[in-house]
Amino acid sequence: MKKLVVLLIFALLLAACGQAATPAAESEAPETTTEAAAPEAVAPSAPTLITEGLGTAEDLVPTEAEIEVARQQLEGSLIGIIACTMGTEYHSTVANAAAARAEALGFTAEIFDPQQQAESQISAIENFVSAGARVIVICVLDPAVVASALQEAADAGVFIVQYAGRESAINGIGISIEDSDLGCAAGQIASNIINTELGGEATVAILDYPDLPNVVVRADNIESCLTDGSPDVVIAGRFLGGTTDNGLTSMETALQATPGINVVVSINDAGAYGAMTALEAAGADPATTVIVGIDAETQALDLIAEGGMYRGTVDTAPAVTGEMTINAAVKLLAGATVFQNIRVPVAQITIDTLP
Amino acid sequence: MKWFQGINRKRILDILGENGFIFIFLIWAIYLSFTTDSFLTSQNIFTVLRQAAIVSIVGIGEMLVMLLGGMDVSLAAILGFSGVFSAGLMVNHGWPVWLALLAGIAMGGLAGAINGFLVTKVKINAVIATLGMMNVLNGIAYTYTGGVTIYGHQMDSIDFLSRGYMGPIPVPVIIMFVFYVVFYLIFNHTLFGAWIYAIGNNEKASWLAGIRVDRMKILAFTVGGLLAGIGGVLQISRQGSATAGMGDEFLFPILTAVILGGISPSGGKGRIQNTLIASIFLVAITNGMVLLGISIYTQRIVSGLILIIALSLDQLRQRSR
Amino acid sequence: MDTIISLKDISRSFPGVQALDKVSFDVKAGSVHALVGANGAGKSTLMKILAGALPANSGSIVLDGVEYSPANPNQAIQAGVSTIYQELNLLSDRTVVQNMTLGHEPARSGVLKKRQARKLTLDVLKRLRADYISPDSVVSRLKVGEKQLVEIGKALLTQCKVLIMDEPTAALNKSESDALFENIQQLKQNGVTILYVSHRLAEIFQIADVVTILRDGKHVLTESIQNVTPESVITAMIGRKLEGIYPPRNNVLGEKVLDVSGLTSEKTFQNISFSVKAGEVVAITGLTGSGKTELCKAIFGDFPIDSGTVKFFDRKEIPNPTKAVANRVGYMPEDRKKEGVLEEVSIRRNISLAYLANLANPVGWINKKRESAAAMQQVNDLQIKTPNITQLVRNLSGGNQQKVSLAKWLAAGSRVLILMEPTQGIDVGVKFEIYQLIADLSSKGVGILLVSSEISEILGMAHRILVMHNGDLCANLDGTTTDTEEILFFTFGQKRS
């Protein structure tokens, strides 16, 4: 009995930090968002939110006048930035870019790192509200956990800007990358190379991370866009990725079952590194082996530049996302008319389009 | 007459329970060798063993602490921390590779020693103390890396630790077996091993027999930390990079391997070879499912079921007492 | 009188051991029926079968004319058979009231009647003359003797026809025991049958009506107490005659091996000074709470000291077990299971434990051959009954576990031995073996500090007898010239007139 209890405890413990080392969490935003009542007394002119359709990064670029209003609004107050974690490159880049943008505009901004602990975001929200924050920029780990805290914040007149997800942006703006865009971009990179260099034929492994439903959307779109572009490829299967170690272990094993795998498309770069190590160790020919990831991490860019089997990645634009969150804050503070739901642009990166 | 009475139903349950997971492992292995072409190839067996190396080595450290009736939840974090520390020294600070590796392992030992000190001298519960250590180390690792992966050509020279071969046998497999032989001897033939088992069985009686209980406990935590440090440098060799969160993936497998291997959570009982077999079993579960082509969405269900069955056999034994 | 329990051909075996072999006898209703036998005779097994804790392999029991085969202890209690085990079964974090009324708490429609529970408990404690125990104290705070009284009280509270008692007086002092005997008489008059398991022959002759003797799992005799003598009972138990109970004292005393001076531990004992010479047996006695146990623990480093010094041979030490063992001082604790042995570890390792470092080379490699030889020698010397030295200590009987606990120090070559109640809860046969061992050790020059509440044994063994009362050392008597009366006199703190 004790054994089971101990295992159970650790299962729970792990569930608490279950999202470790995985890419940005997002999900389809509900298209209808209620116009939550912001107390008129606090904001001089409430922003008008357009709930239909998706806005773009350009839509958020503020005018000088708007920046000036926002600056007055923020006098003696601050923007609270609540990250998901500062432990991955993507998340730290978004948060740091947001802070940098805020500083450039002369605002005070403060970053809180919840280290993947959903519960600690609640107290972070409460603390920022009582510290007088006018805007909270947040990467929501678990919408259910923070829902009431965010509602209270919104009731207190605080604007919510959510990134890496849209469902929790009560009376505010949700900025998110579309997982379908990301997956499709990676699938297209692979498809292009397969068609031009491999005669349209290949055996493909997809690295997935089934713990996160939105990441599965990515994997689905990798598969559909790849097979749309290259109908003759064989999909060997989906394997567990998400971390370098998972990617490595999965590919080592997958190569035992299907030694002919020569293309790996991964839902993130970290998993793709592991796949590359496994393929190299198995003696794969760099000329006919293709690995594509998502996230545009520095290491991925380096590997692409080396001209080896790592051929492409998709830029999730973390720095742009960070800037967009602050731009959105300005729009809200200035009482502008703006889309409630914004999509982050994605860019395919190969050796030809390296930044 | 007496020997006959020995072989009764209870005795069979005993044997089955004591080694229940090994039976399930055997059944699983036999099933796979009939249903797949590749499971029983030497290449696949080496793949499984290689993948089990790190968990099984750190598992020895966890076993040491659990034999004492404690639990160290920081070993996975120490693994990540040591890996990041070592890789950082190598890549960012230009330390000679061997020195960076030793420094990483030593930091693991230091973290373990602090755990031991907290448990014995400050008298904090082992789980709580190591939980704290886990957070501190993760925090330092995240702060140091800022979430960025550490990698570089400096790490190429440690490739052989994870991908080299000695004759036909992969280096990590050799390392794993060397550790197990050495620790098998330590557990079964040395004072340290004898005292660990004695303390785990009855701390007060051991203390009254003149054994330096606190010193042994600190030593056990320290050795655990060192082994986790070794796991860390093996892991950065394996993935050719270091990330702050890379230890997280190990927490569950390490504990599962040790518990599945039959280390009693109350301490004092358990065989080191069972920890090794359990580590290999855990890898073989996933390996087999991939070979069988089971979708990753159902893999969890299957692996969960296999673990539950293996653990249930142990309950049978305890009930038969 | 009618027969209340009738056992017919009860057998029970464990792997490698036939614990009970076709045991048959009858117990008369309303009698006090003593069950005696040496270690491993099968008393405990028989008791467990009656208590529903263990099924018999074959045979049948008739209780009050009805077939009786309880599947679990609860069924036994329902059938009117209650048992007080030697290993106490109390919930240590709960209060005396909660323990005593456990399972039959007075309640109305599910609501506990706490005041009534408390009153019931107090009544029973009064009947046991143990009302100095507060019904509200938490059991873990009680002393061993007090816990036993709670156990007895718990059984008295159930409406039982048959009460099985396993060594109930093992941890009781004289007045507690006397109170218990009175209660047994009272229960008997109320028609309750008592099955009384004890090693203390004196008690059996004091209270029992009938005695049943088991040896090696077989029934030897069941006889009315008038028809037996202590000698005949012992002879039947061990299967041979016993010559003189206590071996002669060693008369060659050497240098001081233990010297205690001015030892004080706030509120427990004050300013204690005495010494033990090589080859000398010094006994310490006193009531529960007199500080004798704590004093001896303190000498070994298992109890805090505020002032005073302890010298082993010529070396002054702040006691702790590691230093004591290094000075070849051994300590046999009172609570054997909790402090004396490692139950889940082999006999071999238990015996070698304190000497292990000497059996290893500088790298720490243990020479298992030497370890086995050392353990084997002790097993043979002490006649520890076991098929082999790799057996777990858990599988041994209480007396043999006690021998293992002592063997550890013999193997370590201890020059000073602190023995805490070494014969408590041990049957007569083993008891005499232990007396012989103590005498042998002292003639080999080992200094022995013997803590015991059994006056006859210290009178029989000790060169000197120290009596403690309320934390003071109130007498230092010559063991050869003093007598029971004088010892009791000091034990109860009387000033000599």
DSSP codes of every residue in C240-291: SPPP-SSPPPP----SEEEEEEEEEETTTEEEEEEEEETT-EEEEEE-TTSS
Residues of B within 8 A of C356 (CB-CB) are 191, 194-195
Tell me which residue of C173, C280, A115, A242 sits closest to B77, measured CA to CA: A115
How many cross-chain Cβ pairs, B to C, lie less than 8 Å apart?
A: 77
Q: Name the residue facing A252 among B47, B246, B295 (closest C-beta).
A: B47
For β-strands A159-163 and C464-469, DSSP reports them as unpaired
Distance CA C107, CA C96 (A): 17
pLDDT tens, position by position, C172-194: 777 777 877 887 887 788 788 99
Identify the top-confidence range among A260-274, C41-55, C411-425.
Answer: A260-274
Which of B123-132, C8-17, C371-380 shows the lowest mean pLDDT across its residues? C8-17
The answer, yes or no, to whether residue A3 has pLDDT greater than 70, is no
The answer, yes or no, to whether residue C85 has pLDDT greater than 90, is no
Exposed/middle/buried for residue C166 (C-beta within 10 Å: 0-12, 13-18, 19+)? buried
pLDDT tens, position by position, B217-244: 999 999 999 999 999 999 999 999 998 8
**Average pLDDT, integer, range A78-91:** 88
- Quote the pLDDT of residue A142: 86
Per cent of chain A over pLDDT 70 is 88
Query: Who's near B66: CB < 8 A, 6+ residues apart?
Result: B72, B258, B259, B263, B264, B265, B267, B270
The residue of B192, B202, B321 whose CB has the most chain C CBs within 10 angstroms, and thus the best one to mutate to test that interface, is B202
The answer, yes or no, to whether residue A8 has pLDDT greater than 60, is no
Q: Name the residue facing A252 among B36, B51, B148 (closest C-beta).
A: B51
For β-strands A341-343 and C32-37, DSSP reports them as unpaired
Which of A13-22, A269-278, B261-270, C327-336 shows the lowest mean pLDDT across its residues? A13-22
- Quote the pLDDT of residue A22: 39
- Quote the pLDDT of residue C332: 94
- Quote the pLDDT of residue C14: 77
Distance CA C472, CA C264 (A): 10
CB contact (8 A) between residue B5 and residue C15: yes
Tokens 């590691």 correspond to what residue? C322
The residue of A10, A113, A211 whose CB has the most chain B CBs within 10 angstroms, and thus the best one to mutate to test that interface, is A10
CB contact (8 A) between residue A253 and residue B147: no
Distance CA C391, CA C395 (A): 7
- Model confidence at A267, in pLDDT bands (50, 70, 90)? very high
Tell me which residue of C301, C375, C349, C366 sits closest to B268, measured CA to CA: C349
Largest distance between two CA atoms of chain A: 68
| Chains A and C are in contact, defined as 3 or more C-beta pairs closer than 8 angstroms | no
CB contact (8 A) between residue B245 and residue A243: yes
**Average pLDDT, integer, range C436-453:** 92
The answer, yes or no, to whether residue B3 has pLDDT greater than 50, is no
CB contact (8 A) between residue C331 and residue B5: no
- Quote the pLDDT of residue B16: 62
- Model confidence at A207, in pLDDT bands (50, 70, 90)? very high
CB contact (8 A) between residue A253 and residue B286: yes
- Quote the pLDDT of residue A87: 76
- Model confidence at B202, in pLDDT bands (50, 70, 90)? very high
- Model confidence at A9, in pLDDT bands (50, 70, 90)? low
**Average pLDDT, integer, range C137-148:** 79
- Quote the pLDDT of residue C2: 83
Residues of B within 8 A of C390 (CB-CB) are none
Half-sphere exposure of B16 (CA within 13 A, CB side): 18
Per cent of chain B over pLDDT 90 is 70
**Average pLDDT, integer, range C147-163:** 79
Which of C 311-350 lie inside 8 A of B, CB atoms?
321-322, 324-326, 331, 333, 338-345, 349
The answer, yes or no, to whether residue A16 has pLDDT greater than 80, is no
The answer, yes or no, to whether residue A43 has pLDDT greater than 50, is no
- Model confidence at C329, in pLDDT bands (50, 70, 90)? very high
pLDDT tens, position by position, B129-155: 999 999 999 999 988 988 788 999 999
CB contact (8 A) between residue A85 and residue B142: yes
pTM of the predicted model, to two decimals?
Answer: 0.73
Cα Rg, chain B, nearest whole Å: 20
pLDDT tens, position by position, C229-248: 877 887 787 666 545 668 88
Distance CA B162, CA C98 (A): 61
Residue C358 main-chain phi, psi, to 5 deg: -80, -15
- Quote the pLDDT of residue B84: 96
The answer, yes or no, to whether residue A6 has pLDDT greater than 60, is no
Mean pLDDT, all residues of chain C: 86
Q: Which two tokens stand for residue C351?
A: 């015996």
The answer, yes or no, to whether residue C341 has pLDDT greater than 90, is yes
**C196 inside 8 A of chain B by CB:** no
Q: Name the residue facing B204 among C339, C360, C364 (closest C-beta).
A: C339
- Quote the pLDDT of residue B14: 62
pLDDT tens, position by position, B276-318: 999 999 999 999 999 998 888 888 888 888 888 877 776 665 5
pLDDT tens, position by position, A142-167: 888 899 999 999 999 999 999 988 88
CB contact (8 A) between residue B190 and residue C363: yes
Q: Name the residue facing B239 among A86, A237, A273 (closest C-beta).
A: A273
Instruction: State the chains in contact with B (3 or more Cβ–Cβ pairs under 8 Å).
Output: A, C
pLDDT tens, position by position, C19-39: 898 999 999 998 999 998 876
Residues of B within 8 A of C16 (CB-CB) are 2, 5-6
DSSP codes of every residue in C304-334: --SEEEEEETTEEE---HHHHHHTTEEEE-S
**Beta strand segments in C80-158, E:** 81-84, 107-108, 111-112
Distance CA C182, CA C175 (A): 11
DSSP secondary-structure letter at C382? T
The residue of C336, C353, C369 whose CB has the most chain B CBs within 10 angstroms, and thus the best one to mutate to test that interface, is C353
Q: Which two tokens stand for residue B126?
A: 């082992």
Q: Name the residue facing A245 among B146, B249, B251 (closest C-beta).
A: B249
pLDDT tens, position by position, C464-481: 999 998 899 999 999 888
Helix spans in B40-125 (H): 42-67, 75-91, 97-120
The answer, yes or no, to whether residue B321 has pLDDT greater than 70, is no
For β-strands C111-112 and C107-108, DSSP reports them as antiparallel
Which of A116-130, A260-274, B76-90 shows the lowest mean pLDDT across its residues? A116-130
**Average pLDDT, integer, range C53-70:** 90
**C364 inside 8 A of chain B by CB:** yes
- Quote the pLDDT of residue A221: 96
CA angle C398, C78, C34 (to 5 degrees): 40
Residues of B within 8 A of C322 (CB-CB) are 210-212
pLDDT tens, position by position, C109-129: 777 778 888 888 888 888 777
Residues of C within 8 A of B268 (CB-CB) are 342, 344-345
